[in-house]
Amino acid sequence: MINKDLVIVGGGPAGMAAALSARDAGVRDILLLERDQYLGGILNQCIHTGFGIYHFKELLTGCEYAGRFISLVERSREIDVSLKSFVVRLTNDRVLTFLKPGKMETVRAKALIMATGCRERTREMIHIPGTRPAGVFSAGLAQKLINIEGLLPGKEVVIVGSGDIGLIMARRFTLEGARVKAVIEIQKQSRGLMRNVVQCVHDFDIPLYFSHRISRISGRDRVEKVEAVRVDEQGNDVDGSRFEILCDTILVSVGLIPENELIEMAGAKIDSATNAPLSKELNTTSIPGVFACGNCYRVYDLVDSVTRDAQVCGRMAAEFLAGAR
Amino acid sequence: MRSCDALIIGGGVTGTAIARELSQYRLKVILCEKEEELAFGVSKSNSGIIHPGTQNVPGSLKGRLCVEGNALTKAIARELDVDFKQVGELIVAFSQSEVGRLIRIKEDAQRLGVKGLRMVDNAWLRDHEPNLNPDIPAALFAPSAGIISPYRWVYALALNAQQNGVEIMTRTRVAAIERLSGAGRGGMFLRVMTTSAEYDARFVINCAGLHADAVARMAGIDDFSIRPRKGEEFILDKKREHLTNHLIFPLPTPVSKGVLMIKTSDGNPMIGPSALDTEDKDDLSTTEGGLRTVLADARRLVPSVSERDIIAYFAGLRPVAGDDFIIRHEDRASGMVTVAGIQSPGLTCAPAIAKLVSRLLKEHGLDLRRKIFFRRHRRAMNHLFSIPLSRTARLVRLDPSYGDIVCRCEMVSAREISDAIAEGATTMDGIKFRTRAQAGRCHGSFCTCRLMKILADETGRKVIEVTKRGECSEIVLKDRGDDQ
């Protein structure tokens, strides 16, 4: 068993900012666990701009924003980074077991910061009925396929939900030569940032339907069409408003869920409505010495806010360690 | 032209169980499956329940085969290293008048030979099933019921059959069957034209599921038809694994066993299935009505079932051909053996059906001589989700790729993906069914890219050729690199 003062789970923007801020607050023995082969998390697939306006007072791409933190973390002797490291168990006395290629390790942390981010809600979670063909993607997966792998998921696209990733992907698909035939939002307004509605949808003349939902997916092997319907104030379907849209691809962008299954395994209290940790104080969990920051604590609109939140959390962990000494 | 003793049409659980049964004899056996992989038809949308043999009519084929199949499944699952859990089943009564029906079910089942049945009361239920509707006065407990992964079961049967010489042809659709008589062949034989090749077979075993009627008609048999009966099922998050400790059944209805609380061998509870007769043999769509019905019925059993726990759903079609199975040699088309209408409890019955079919073949002149070297046992691939961490640690030391986690929700390693591909997975669904990668709460959002690359690499294809479940279900439609 390894002993560490501070272990941070997740090497995205939250984990990196928390590690740097804890170091600046005097923590000298930090282990940063990242399950992917790179630091940076989801920022690596965000090749669009809009990042860093508050933190760096500059307009950066997601990759650039991550890159700046990655170089700071890599230059820091106090922060040990372990990549391809997947935590499989966490107990309430802050003992973590993680797998990496070739070994399983156990580490006892005096303090622990969870920076595990979030996952996208799926088609299944909003119960869209119909068939289950190829061609249904979460917006984030489509973003990764295009931006990292250089693969185009489809050519005629309908986007369900108007979250920021969905809006950004509407523009991205259009720029890649695909046709985005509709963005369908069940609410009366977009869930995303206004700048994304304007720059990603209006500027490209993409039809945006508010107060509509997808009531059916059709297609045996690959998506062939969707059926859309208008909903009234109570959320009931409006008679006679059904129409079909032919498409080969559906992107689902209907919200994000904090990833807290690990601390839940350790016995932390979780809000069943939001999947976020329940605690008395900001950035803490119901387990002493286990902190949480970034999107696993609360889903933020901007990475700059994630960074700020994680910096606070890093200092809190440092104070906890100083108090425990 | 290829010849064989027996040609099995259909690579679901019935076809593969028959293949495995026949593989212990000195026979040339070929199995044809029209889909890209085995278990992609009726068997893929199965509840995975190994029934004890209750809820069947005494004197029916189902009744006899289910009790025998329950015991055989346990024995063969051990031989093939497939995880079978004997979790037991509770059939619950909602009123005193229903308790009377339960007692009749118990008596019928005892006549069929089901062992260990007993009535349990409300106090027992509160102790053993704390989440069950507290108003349920009594239940019939059938301890011999269990659960198995229908996919891993089919794949294990098929792989073992293959080890013992059975040839398995996927993407092979039967187009026509002719009855011919040939000199030197010992009389009549059947010529089967398929999309892959032509086969001459002494016996053709029709296990074509939803399409068994169409295959039968090719051989001139037209006295039955298959009507699909749709069932929708909803899978809950693994976090709810212990929602119930047993399989929970209401009293059966005339068309089905009702909406159940199902435990699965993967840990995720499942609720369903609905039962709705349909015309369309391709209609695997789920419906809003199906969700409402299943949720309402499941909540009668366990009130705390939440819509929020649903992480996946699917619809399957039961191949219904009347009330009972049709398993017979067709005297009007000698050599044709029909195995049709294998709906519930077909998964349980499959190994017993296989034995029945081999007896039919023998009665009609096939010489069943045992092989000297029949490989009865096989070792299954490892699944990290089902073993303790101490064993995982040992595996990771033996092969580093066990420590390379690809699917984070279900904890599936790169080694397991490679194993699945080595065992025959050629599609994303094939990987999912064997390993559970993409089957968890994120639904493949995080692992799809990696899986596509591994699948492409290890099968020598391009990433854009990777499909979900075979031709026309490609995951991505264009590689931007091809533009340059």
Report the residue of chain B nearest A215, measured CA to CA. Answer: B288
Mean pLDDT within A291-299:
97
Task: Tell me the two tokens of residue B143.
Answer: 């301890």
Residues in B closer than 8 angstroms to A261, CB to CB, are 239
**Residue B188: pLDDT band with limits 50, 70, 90:** confident
The secondary structure of residue A30, as a DSSP letter, is: E
Identity of the amino acid at B204: V
Task: Tell me the two tokens of residue B344.
Answer: 């519930």
Q: Which residue has the tokens 């508010």?
A: A210
Residues in A closer than 8 angstroms to B441, CB to CB, are 119, 122
Shortest alpha-carbon distance between residue A207 and chain B (Å) = 23
The rounded percent of chain B whose pLDDT value lies above 90 is 92
pTM above 0.90, yes or no: yes
Is it the case that residue B182 has pLDDT exceeding 90? no
Which residues 107-166 on chain B approach chain A with CB closer than 8 angstroms? none
Mean pLDDT within B15-29:
98
Residues in B closer than 8 angstroms to A138, CB to CB, are 442-443, 445
Task: Tell me the two tokens of residue B393.
Answer: 């640690």
Distance between CA atoms of residues B292 and A107, nearest Å: 46
Q: By the 8 A CB rule, do A197 and A216 touch?
A: no
Structure confidence at residue B184 (pLDDT):
52
Shortest alpha-carbon distance between residue A36 and chain B (Å) = 9
Structure confidence at residue B256 (pLDDT):
80
Task: Tell me the two tokens of residue B171.
Answer: 């993407």
B127-173 residue pLDDT tens: 999 999 999 999 999 999 999 999 999 999 999 999 999 999 999 99
Contacts of B101 (CB under 8 A, 6+ apart): B93, B251
Q: A106 forms bridges with which residues in the sheet? A: A97
Mean pLDDT within B202-217:
98
B90-126 residue pLDDT tens: 999 999 999 999 999 999 999 999 999 999 999 999 9
Q: How many CB atoms lie within 10 A of CB A241?
A: 13
Shortest alpha-carbon distance between residue A97 and chain B (Å) = 9
Interface with B, mutate which of A89, A149, A250 (most B CBs under 10 A): A149
A103/B396 touch (CB, cutoff 8 Å), yes or no: yes
Distance between CA atoms of residues B108 and B349, nearest Å: 18
**Residue B357: pLDDT band with limits 50, 70, 90:** very high
Give chain B's mean pLDDT.
95
Q: By the 8 A CB rule, do A135 and A222 touch?
A: yes
Task: Tell me the two tokens of residue A259.
Answer: 């990833």
Exposed/middle/buried for residue A194 (C-beta within 10 Å: 0-12, 13-18, 19+): exposed
A226-275 residue pLDDT tens: 999 999 999 899 999 999 999 999 999 999 999 999 999 999 999 988 99
Structure confidence at residue A301 (pLDDT):
93
The secondary structure of residue A275, as a DSSP letter, is: -
Task: Tell me the two tokens of residue A114.
Answer: 């969870």
Interface with B, mutate which of A131, A151, A248, A259 (most B CBs under 10 A): A151
> Given A35, A88, A124, which is nearest B312 (Cβ)?
A124
Exposed/middle/buried for residue B224 (C-beta within 10 Å: 0-12, 13-18, 19+): middle
A218/B474 touch (CB, cutoff 8 Å), yes or no: no
Which residues 263-292 on chain B approach chain A with CB closer than 8 angstroms? 282, 284-288, 290-291
Q: How many Å is the Cα radius of gyration of chain B?
A: 23
A104 lies within 8 A of chain B by CB: yes
**SS3 for A191?**
coil
**Residue B324: pLDDT band with limits 50, 70, 90:** very high
A154 lies within 8 A of chain B by CB: yes
B71-92 residue pLDDT tens: 999 999 999 999 999 999 999 9
Structure confidence at residue B255 (pLDDT):
75
A106 lies within 8 A of chain B by CB: no
Q: By the 8 A CB rule, do B147 and B247 touch?
A: yes
Q: B180 forms bridges with which residues in the sheet? A: B189
Q: B191 forms bridges with which residues in the sheet? A: B178, B200
Domains of chain B: 2-43+151-225+323-363 (3.50.50.60), 84-146+227-320 (3.30.9.10), 384-478 (1.10.10.1100)
Distance between CA atoms of residues B441 and B438, nearest Å: 8
Structure confidence at residue B202 (pLDDT):
96
A45-93 residue pLDDT tens: 999 999 999 999 999 999 999 999 999 999 999 999 999 999 999 999 9
Is it the case that residue A315 has pLDDT exceeding 80? yes
User: Longest Cα pair distance anywhere in chain B, in angstroms?
Assistant: 74
Shortest alpha-carbon distance between residue A23 and chain B (Å) = 29
Interface with B, mutate which of A84, A126, A127, A250 (most B CBs under 10 A): A127
> Given A119, A129, A248, which is nearest B285 (Cβ)?
A129
B470/A134 touch (CB, cutoff 8 Å), yes or no: no
Contacts of A223 (CB under 8 A, 6+ apart): A133, A134, A135, A136, A154, A217, A247, A248, A249, A250
Identify whether B211 is a catalytic site residue: no
Is it the case that residue B380 has pLDDT exceeding 90? yes
Structure confidence at residue B365 (pLDDT):
94
Q: How far is CA B116 from CA A72, A113, B89, B145, in A?
A: 67, 52, 11, 10
CA-closest candidate to residue A127, choices B306, B283, B457: B306
A127/B472 touch (CB, cutoff 8 Å), yes or no: no
Task: Tell me the two tokens of residue A61.
Answer: 């791409």
Q: By the 8 A CB rule, do B229 and B278 touch?
A: yes
Residues in A closer than 8 angstroms to B35, CB to CB, are none
Q: DSSP per residue over A81-97, as a string?
A: EE-S-EEEEE-TTSEEE
**Residue B281: pLDDT band with limits 50, 70, 90:** very high
**Residue A147: pLDDT band with limits 50, 70, 90:** very high
Give chain A's mean pLDDT.
96
Which residues 351-410 on chain B approach chain A with CB closer than 8 angstroms? 389, 392-393, 396-397, 400-405, 408
A134/B467 touch (CB, cutoff 8 Å), yes or no: yes
Residues in B closer than 8 angstroms to A249, CB to CB, are 477
**Residue A277: pLDDT band with limits 50, 70, 90:** very high
Q: Which residue has the tokens 């119909």?
A: A130
A176-234 residue pLDDT tens: 999 999 999 999 999 899 999 999 999 999 999 999 999 999 999 999 999 999 999 99
Mean pLDDT within B384-389:
94
What's chain B look like in SS3?
A: CEEEEEEEECCCHHHHHHHHHHCCECCCEEEECCCCCCCCCHHHHCCCEECCCCCCCCCCHHHHHHHHHHHHHHHHHHHCCCCEECCCEEEEECCHHHHHHHHHHHHHHHHHCCCCCEEEEHHHHHHHCCCCCCCCCEEEEECCCEEECHHHHHHHHHHHHHHCCCEEECCCCEEEEEEEEECCCCEEEEEEEECCCEEEEEEEEECCHHHHHHHHHHCCCCCCCCEEEEEEEEEECHHHHHHCCCEEECCCCCCCCCCEEECCCCCCCEEECCCEECCCCCCCCECHHHHHHHHHHHHHHCCCCCHHHEEEEEEEEEEECCCCCEEEECHHHCCEEEEECCCCCHHHHHHHHHHHHHHHHHHCCCCCCECCCCCCCCCCCCCHHHCCHHHHHHHHHHCHHHHCEEECCCCEEHHHHHHHHHCCCCCHHHHHHHHCCCCCCCCCCCCHHHHHHHHHHHHCCCHHHCECCCCCCECCCEEHHHHC
**Residue B186: pLDDT band with limits 50, 70, 90:** low
Shortest alpha-carbon distance between residue A63 and chain B (Å) = 18
A78 lies within 8 A of chain B by CB: no
Is it the case that residue A281 has pLDDT exceeding 70? yes
Is it the case that residue B484 has pLDDT exceeding 80? no
B396/A99 touch (CB, cutoff 8 Å), yes or no: yes
> Given A119, A120, A124, which is nearest B313 (Cβ)?
A124
Is it the case that residue B183 has pLDDT exceeding 90? no
> Given A84, A127, A248, which is nearest B477 (Cβ)?
A248
A82-121 residue pLDDT tens: 999 999 999 999 999 999 999 999 999 999 999 999 999 9
Q: How many CB atoms lie within 10 A of CB A51?
A: 24
Domains of chain A: 2-119+256-324 (3.50.50.60), 122-252 (3.50.50.60)
Structure confidence at residue A225 (pLDDT):
98
Q: How far is CA B273 from CA A5, A194, A277, B276, in A?
A: 51, 43, 34, 10
CA-closest candidate to residue B51, choices B447, B425, B347: B347
Structure confidence at residue B1 (pLDDT):
80
For chains A and B, CB pairs below 8 A equal 145
